[in-house]
Structure 1
Amino acid sequence: ESSSFRAIRATSLPRCQNARFGQLLHNQAMDSAQAPAITVAAVARRLGVSPATLRTWDRRYGVGPSEHNAGAHRRYSPDDLAALERMQALIRAGVSTADAARAVLSGAGLAAVAPLATPKVPSRPGGGAVISVAGAIPSARGLARAAMCLDGRACVDLITDSLRERGAVWTWDEILIPVLTGLGQRWNDTGGSIETEHLVSESVKQAFGAYTYELIRGERSERVVLLASAPDEPHTLPLWALAAALAERRVVSVQLGSRLPVHSFTSAIKRTGPAAVFVWSQTDETGHLDLLEAIPDTRRPPLVLVGGPGWDPHAAEGHWVGDLSSAVTRLVRAVVG
């Protein structure tokens, strides 16, 4: 409720409404009083933080239990928990803890405090527990921070929220590309953070996979799009993003995963008769054009596209696409005409 609503007094209403309004206030008070109190440990588990963090947020920033009786265990109300969840969402979006607390206490939303988000200090060769995402938007910085904390749930939540609000292409280009690039740079600088890269990869698959499934659940298509990585190519993340972007346009894709052998690639084309095929290659060692020559003849030949830095754009001219948006446009056109 707004402060102006709470300030309304029963005497300011017409006489005929005084009794009903008084009863309403009484019922609301009883509902609030009967709401189950939540322990510190339960709130900590819900948010994925330590009890010590909750005590710090309460002591330092004033975001904590609304009531605390001396000598009794601390208990949080549902409203207290909701405030903490809003504060955590702001922190994940790149807002500092202090600014997030002030925003929650004042009732401000993310749009009002987004300009307060500040980047972390870039990683340096040989040290620094951060991912360099200089110039990235607050959500990318929030994802980088959650990843370095190995907070998988926070990573999935942030990616999922972005997918629902902005879509697959924007989420991939504006949030994930900066973080994945920063992780690659950190590995080059320090030789570490492989576990962080794996965490982000699994978070991407979980968030994009669930999002794609919900979009195309129950959809049927005579002609699909086949998505695969080149033989010996282990990377697949761009395929998850492409599948989600296609699903937003009600185009059904079949993802065949990493390291797809040539004979399995040709077999899949024969069995599905796809409208289009997309093959990803991350490294020079896997972007072999002989794969394209192995595509079998079909009654309705599919559009064949390749993407990724492993391909030579000139050698694959006519097949190569340089970004996710271009790939989506051409693949959708192949399906719907």
Structure 2
Amino acid sequence: MADDGLSAGAAARRLGVAVTTLRTWHQRYGLGPSRHEPGHHRRYTVEDMVRLQVMQRLTAQGVAPAEAAAWARRTPEATAASPEPAASDGSADSLGSAATADSAAPVGSAVSAGSAVSAGSAVSAGSEGFVFAGDAPAGGGQTIALGVRADPAARGLARAAMRLDAPSMRHITSEAITERGVIPTWNQVIMPVLIGIGERYEVTERFIEVEHLLSRTVTEVLATVPRPPRDRVPRVLLAAADEEQHTLPLEALAAALAEGGVPTRLFGARVPVRALLDAVDRTGPAVVVLWSQLPATGDVGQLERLLRVPHPPLVVAAAGPGWPLHGLPPEVTPLAGLADAVRVATAGAAG
């Protein structure tokens, strides 16, 4: 990159995104160019590009934009060039979102730090390629924003969610899993709706009941995915970090692994370190996936203690946006998404 930085067009080409996307990230989340000379357009520095790459990676994995931007602004290499946005309609505090669109760091509940948009913003007008699924006109209070290329099943799921129609939600997700499989259904159908609900929460501070019912319904459907025969000993252990309450991503991972014939032990939410170590000692798993949704639960010490047990797992993997982007022990495998987690866990279990 040239010493004087990149123009918006060059930065967009480097990232493979539209210039309008960069403008949006600048205006809403403070992720703009920091180099400025009087009489010239601002230009993106190396530090700016680091932040944008973090933003791009996290949003591609399904993290809501405001939450992804908060993580990007905390990136150590970018701190010095990371101005806070002048104004924001939302907050970066997650109320239970998930981490990724293609993730075992995928999302849990979707009432997350969504984009800081308002009903009268350009998003409502469709300038960024959003459509609305719900029972009210576009831009109304009973809508969920989905991409213009949103899967028809996702639109149907969004409408059913806003109606609190659990039987329809169950039917749509079950049918999608039967026809497509767990990973495509998670990425194309479930995640867009969860993220959309999170973004509506950011605007309205409403619809927690929608997120709760949808999450519960998805849990029920994922549990119906046939499990491997009981004589197959599970070699994969899935657990949420100490005090971490969000488990939907792990449930998706367990279902996706079961679909591939890999049995798991899923311990669920808030697993204390001592209990986790005892479980590892008693079951001798080849793979341990530890999920952290929020920075408050992403204590790397938990992973370090796993690595120090007398007979450590072949693979210790960190999933979720709660873990620090930097500072993971080199022996820990960061998981980039649900498909990646399935590949890593399957290979580890076979090793």
Instruction: Quickly name the TM-score band, shorter chain normalised.
Output: 0.5 to 0.7
Alpha-carbon shift at residue 119 of structure 1 (Å): 5.1
TM-score by length of 1: 0.61
Return 309-318 or 262-271, whichever deviates more. Answer: 309-318
Structure number having the greater helix percentage? 1
Among candidates 165, 173, 184, match of residue 159 of structure 1: 173
| 1:203-222 aligned within 5 A | 203-211=217-225, 214-216=226-228, 218-222=229-233
Match of 2:260 in 1: 249
Indicate yes or no: 2:168 matched with 1:168.
no
Match of 1:128 in 2: 141
Match of 2:281 in 1: 270
Distance 1:190 1:125, change over 3 A: farther
Q: Higher relative CO (CA 8 A, sep ≥ 6), structure 1 or 2?
A: 2
Count of aligned pairs: 217
Alpha-carbon shift at residue 287 of structure 1 (Å): 0.8
Give the RMSD, CA atoms, in angstroms. Answer: 2.2
Task: Mark the runs of 5 or more structure 2 residues left unpaired by the alignment.
Answer: 1-130
Larger Cα Rg: Structure 1 or Structure 2?
A: 1
Tell me, in whole angstroms, the C-alpha distance in 2 between the residues paired with 1:124 and 1:184.
19
8 A Cα contact 1:227 1:277, kept in partner: yes
Task: Mark the runs of 5 or more structure 1 residues left unpaired by the alignment.
Answer: 1-117
Among candidates 294, 301, 313, match of residue 290 of structure 1: 301
Distance 1:283 1:320, change over 3 A: same
Indicate yes or no: 2:305 matched with 1:303.
no
Q: State the SS of the aligned residue for 1:325.
A: helix
Match of 1:194 in 2: 208
TM-score by length of 2: 0.58
| 1:137-148 aligned within 5 A | 137-148=151-162
Q: State the SS of the aligned residue for 2:317.
A: strand
Tell me, in whole angstroms, the C-alpha distance in 2 between the residues paired with 1:127 and 1:223.
48
Q: Deviations over 1:199-257 (max 9, x none)?
A: 0110111000111xx232x3433342111111111111101110011011111111111
Q: State the SS of the aligned residue for 1:133.
A: strand
Among candidates 223, 230, 241, match of residue 230 of structure 1: 241
Return 221-230 or 123-132, whichever deviates more. Answer: 123-132
Tell me, in whole angstroms, the C-alpha distance in 2 between the residues paired with 1:187 and 1:326.
29
Alpha-carbon shift at residue 312 of structure 1 (Å): 1.7
Alpha-carbon shift at residue 134 of structure 1 (Å): 2.4
Distance 1:329 1:137, change over 3 A: same
